[in-house]
């Protein structure tokens, strides 16, 4: 490959990389029991247990809040599996 062509390709690749910023995400794993629903969650080195008197919705909201509080500087979106993802 010629030097001029290689320089041109490098410029095009650099330009393309600048247009498509990398997006970071955090994945929260929710552990579900058949009778109680969501009972615990993990995200990286964070681990959460659902309290006996805590509703499933309140537990999921708490997990999201605490993960977001732990990761304020990066502001990465959180991806959580839902019951409809079971068949994937």
The reported pLDDT for the residue numbered 88 is 46
Residues in the chain, total = 88
- For Cα atoms 34, 26, 16, give the angle at the middle one, nearest 5 degrees: 140
User: What gap in Å lies between CA 24 and CA 6, rounded to an integer?
Assistant: 30
Domain boundaries, the chain: 23-85
Q: Give the residue ranges of DSSP H helices in the chain.
A: 3-19, 56-70
pLDDT score of 72: 67
pTM of the model: 0.59
pLDDT along the chain (88 residues), means of 10: 83 73 74 92 91 94 87 62 55
- Which one, of 22, 19, 27, lies nearest residue 77 by Cα? 27
Which residues share a beta bridge with 41? 30, 48
Given this model, what pLDDT does residue 83 score?
A: 59
Q: Residue 3: what pLDDT? A: 87
């Amino acid at each position: 490959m010629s030097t001029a062509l290689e320089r041109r390709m490098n410029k095009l690749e650099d330009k393309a990389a600048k247009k498509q910023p990398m997006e970071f995400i955090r994945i929260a794993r929710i552990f579900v029991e058949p009778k109680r629903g969501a009972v615990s969650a993990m995200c990286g080195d964070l681990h959460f247990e659902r309290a006996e008197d805590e509703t499933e919705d309140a537990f999921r909201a708490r997990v999201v809040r605490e993960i977001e509080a732990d990761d304020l500087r990066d502001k990465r979106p959180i991806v959580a599996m839902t019951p409809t993802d079971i068949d994937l």
